[in-house]
Amino acid sequence: MSNKLYSTDYGKYYLGKCEETIQELKLKEKVQLILTSPPFPLNNKKQYGNLNGEEYLTWFTGLAELFSSVLAPNGSIVIEMGNAWEKNRPVQSLLHLNSLLSFVNNEKAGLRLCQEFICYNPARLPSPAQWVTINRIRAIDSFTHIWWMSNSDYPKADNRRVLRPYSKKMKKLLESGKFNSGKRPSEHVISEKGFLTDNHGSISHNVLELEQIDEDRELRLPYSMFSISNTKSNDFFTKTCKEKGIVPHPARMPLELASFFIEFLTDEGDLVLDPFGGSNTTGFCAEKLKRQWISIEANMDYGKQSIIRFKEPSLNSSIKMGAFEL
């Protein structure tokens, strides 16, 4: 491909519009997971190229058929999308929700919604600033929606790969071997040994906390998210961008979020696709987890800065430049 910016041990990063590049790559039924955070449907256009209004809705809905066509028969699509607000009004827009609904309801795509997730991130800047910090009539928007979709009722998935560490209370219960069994007010009947099997961790929730909501409660990230958090704590990418005077992509997907779904929905060697690659969080996490990956991005500047991720010493990944020399 003439628009390949670079490749690594496991992946390739292309410059161009995702619609055209996906068609050129001939990926039909080869992708196990599409993991992406598309440009948000904002009322004011930003540098990373979002559309707005009905134009956005039409464009986004049309992507469903294209994305579905490249999925493996048991593949998944995971889309992160934040909230949108009406221009100059303290009112949430319905555009992002209508876009997601229209995407999954596109009859030509044959998709279904497997589950909705919420990603809570207290580190997000107070927004929308006008109504939160100036007029002070709204609360901080601190979460994004994540929709997990598939072309199958039973896509590849295993929640045992994204277990959370047991709570202190559960660890004590396993040590004691005793449990208050019997009938609950909910009319569920708990057997004597129903909670005494050590499954090496508890099943993850569909609310993903990047930091704990309750500071007095222990944060129990899934093991996959915890391992990537160790990378984030050192944040080679952000520090290097700062040193070089580079302004990072303004809407980066959290590393923990990407690693969670890659672990949950793929095996080593599977192909992960990000049609809106940006600074390439998806490719970076896929590389660390030994998955094949392809990322596509229309903005050359974001493509250039994404190379920094693969220079992180702990990754030990080789980079080969493509047709575009930097």
Tokens for 232? Answer: 């984030």
Q: Could you tell me if 212 and 286 lie in one domain? A: yes
- Residues 150, 188, single domain; the answer is no
- pTM across the whole model: 0.86
- Phi then psi for residue 174, to 5 deg, are -65, -35
What count of other Cβ atoms lies within 10 Å of the Cβ of residue 247? 10
Strands 271-274 vs 31-36: parallel, antiparallel or unpaired: parallel
* Range list of β-strands (E), the chain: 4-7, 11-15, 31-36, 71-81, 112-120, 143-150, 182-183, 189-190, 207-209, 271-274, 292-297, 320-321
Q: pLDDT at residue 47 above 60? A: no
Same domain as 290, residue 170: no
pLDDT in tens, 190-240: 555 555 566 668 889 999 887 655 556 566 666 555 545 445 545 888 889
Say whether both 180 and 121 belong to one domain.
no
Domain CATH number, residue 111? 3.40.50.150
Whether 263 has a pLDDT exceeding 50, the answer reads yes
| pLDDT reported for residue 220 | 63
In a domain, 326, yes or no: no
- Same domain (yes/no): 185, 305: no
At residue 248, does pLDDT exceed 90?
no
Q: For residue 250, what pLDDT is reported? A: 74
| Mean pLDDT calculated for residue range 49-60 | 78
75: phi then psi, degrees, rounded to nearest 5: -85, 175
Residue 96 lies in a domain: yes
Percent of the chain having pLDDT more than 90? Answer: 56
Range of the domain at 193: 166-200
pLDDT over threshold 70, residue 107? yes
Query: Is 42 domain-assigned?
Result: yes
Model confidence over 303-322: pLDDT tens digits? Answer: 999 999 999 988 888 999 98
